[in-house]
């Protein structure tokens, strides 16, 4: 059988005849005349070398060859219909589709737990794939077809991209516990005199957040002497914990890592060091029902579970260890009469 030479419309006619067991009913189903159905069957019989259907009483009965074809034709045309219709009837509870999201190790540590819980609850049979920013860049970005969405700092979107706000985060700096600069307020002079760890998460280059941080620092007369460059926030934290270098990162990640490593958290010597974070996706998935459902899961999970980290500073330049500042501890003590554990 030369498949490219076969008119697949003939199989569509046979499929209708086998299900209806009548040429007339098949013709009505296909919106053609009974003679057109008979002609299609005749052509297919000649090509396959089998009668396919024979008359029995007032109906048609399939030959053994045609009987074997029934489940395969049903499955084939079901797949074709699914390919054409897409996910219009998408069911998150039964889908086994794979979804991919790209993010830095910041969100892999701080946001992924909430995403994973919500994903498992809403799409129990689906597959979640988490990719690095490096992979996203190497795969051609969101237009490349490999990643459904990405978590990234807010930035001007290129054509064909969409975004939804997730949360706002403020940033701090980390040094090793016992570092001399952790004993008092961080001043501009102290900051500019220190040596810094820079973080390049996108193919060895500074990403959107890195550029935004540089601009905010420069606007306040702050500069960094770079002593080390690393590809992730967690690597920067480990390096800072074991040297006299200083690294900047979002507060919630610094607080999480300070519970695991000997780090002291330093408030920046500038006000309003914060950044808005978004979920970004490409036009190619914008109308897809499955991708839309996946985005809603991510957005809802992070909006409901992410604390308001872009909170105002109570005392400029204060440092703290293990995630709770002295000013915050004093406020809590005034409210409750209890002392707050600095490592909590």
Instruction: Determine phi and psi for 213, rounding to 5 degrees.
Output: -65, -40
SS3 220: coil
Do residue 132 and residue 186 come from a single domain?
no
d(CA 123, CA 61): 43
Q: State the average pLDDT for the chain.
A: 84
Task: Inform me whether the pLDDT recorded for 341 exceeds 60.
Answer: no
CATH of the domain at 26: 1.10.10.10
Grade residue 214 by pLDDT with cuts at 50, 70 and 90: confident
Report pLDDT digits (tens) over 111-149: 999 999 999 999 999 999 999 998 898 888 898 888 999
Do 114 and 239 fall into the same domain?
Answer: no
Q: Kindly report which listed range (86-90, 131-135, 155-159, 303-307) carries the lowest average pLDDT score.
A: 86-90
118 in the same domain as 75: no
pLDDT digits (tens, 9 = 90+) for 11-23: 899 999 988 889 9
Whether residues 227 and 129 share a domain: the answer is: no
d(CA 287, CA 331): 48
Residues 245 and 267 placed together within one structural domain of the fold:
yes
Mean pLDDT confidence for 199-221: 80
Range of the domain at 288: 98-164+277-305
Whether residue 57 has pLDDT greater than 70 = yes
Instruction: Answer yes or no: do 224 and 297 share one domain.
Output: no
Amino acid 92: pLDDT: 94
Which pLDDT value is given to residue 85? Answer: 64
**236 shares a domain with 126:** no
In angstroms, the CA 10 to CA 43 distance is 8
CATH number reported for the structural domain that contains residue 138 in this entry? 3.40.190.10
Same domain, residue pair 158 and 282:
yes
pLDDT exceeds cutoff 70 at 3: no
From 56, 85, 114, the end of a domain falls on 85
Tens of pLDDT, residues 251-295: 999 999 999 999 999 998 887 678 899 999 999 899 889 999 999
What 3-state DSSP class applies to 225? strand
Q: Which residues of 165-204 are buried (b: 16+ CB within 10 A; e: fewer)?
A: ebbebbbbbbbbeebebbeeebeeebbeebebbbbbbbee
**pLDDT digit string (tens) for 238-258?**
999 999 999 999 999 999 999
- Tell me how long the chain is: 344
Give the pLDDT score at 326.
42
- C-beta separation of 130 from 99 below 8 A: no
- Residue 332 binned pLDDT confidence (cut-offs 50, 70, 90): very low
Question: Do 301 and 312 reside in the same domain of the chain?
Answer: no
Query: What is the reported pTM?
Result: 0.66
Long-range (24+ apart) CB contacts under 8 A made by 129-133 are 129/98, 129/99, 129/100, 129/101, 130/100, 130/101, 130/102, 130/103, 131/100, 131/101, 131/102, 132/102, 132/103, 132/104, 132/105, 132/201, 133/102, 133/103, 133/104, 133/201, 133/202, 133/207
Tell me the average pLDDT across 311-340. 40
Question: Is residue 136 included in any domain, yes or no?
Answer: yes
Q: Is residue 343 part of a domain?
A: no
% residues pLDDT > 70 (the chain): 85
Q: What's the total number of domains in the chain?
A: 3
Cβ neighbors of 286 (< 8 A, separation 6 or more) are 162, 292
């Amino acid at each position: 059988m030369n498949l490219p030479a076969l008119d697949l419309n003939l199989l569509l006619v046979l499929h209708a005849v086998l299900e209806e067991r009548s040429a007339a009913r098949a013709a009505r189903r296909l919106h053609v005349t009974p003679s057109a159905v008979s002609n299609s069957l005749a052509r297919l019989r000649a090509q396959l070398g089998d009668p396919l259907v024979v008359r029995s009483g007032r109906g048609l009965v399939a030959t053994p060859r045609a009987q074997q074809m029934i489940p395969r034709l049903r499955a084939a045309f079901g797949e074709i219909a699914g390919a054409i219709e897409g996910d219009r009837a998408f069911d998150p509870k039964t889908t086994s589709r794979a979804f991919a999201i790209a993010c830095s190790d910041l969100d892999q540590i701080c946001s992924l737990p909430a995403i994973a819980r919500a994903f498992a609850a809403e799409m129990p049979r689906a597959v979640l794939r988490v990719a690095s920013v490096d992979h996203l860049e190497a795969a051609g970005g969101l237009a490349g077809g490999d990643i459904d969405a990405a978590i990234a700092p807010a930035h001007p979107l290129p054509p064909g991209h969409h975004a939804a706000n997730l949360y706002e985060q403020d940033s701090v700096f980390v040094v090793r516990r016992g570092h001399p600069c952790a004993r008092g307020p961080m001043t501009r002079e102290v900051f500019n005199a220190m040596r810094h760890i820079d973080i390049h998460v996108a193919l060895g280059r500074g990403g959107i957040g890195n550029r935004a941080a540089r601009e905010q620092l420069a606007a306040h007369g702050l500069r960094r002497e770079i002593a080390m460059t690393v590809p992730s926030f967690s690597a920067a934290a480990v390096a800072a914990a074991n040297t006299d270098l200083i690294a900047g990162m979002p507060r919630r990640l610094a607080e999480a890592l300070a519970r695991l490593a000997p780090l002291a958290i330093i408030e920046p010597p500038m006000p309003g060091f914060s950044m808005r974070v978004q979920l970004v996706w490409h036009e190619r998935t914008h109308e897809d029902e499955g991708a839309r459902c996946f985005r809603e899961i991510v957005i809802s999970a992070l909006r409901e579970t992410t604390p308001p980290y872009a909170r105002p500073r109570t005392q400029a330049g204060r440092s703290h260890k293990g995630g709770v500042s002295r000013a915050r501890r004093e406020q809590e003590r005034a409210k409750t009469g209890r002392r707050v554990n600095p490592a909590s």
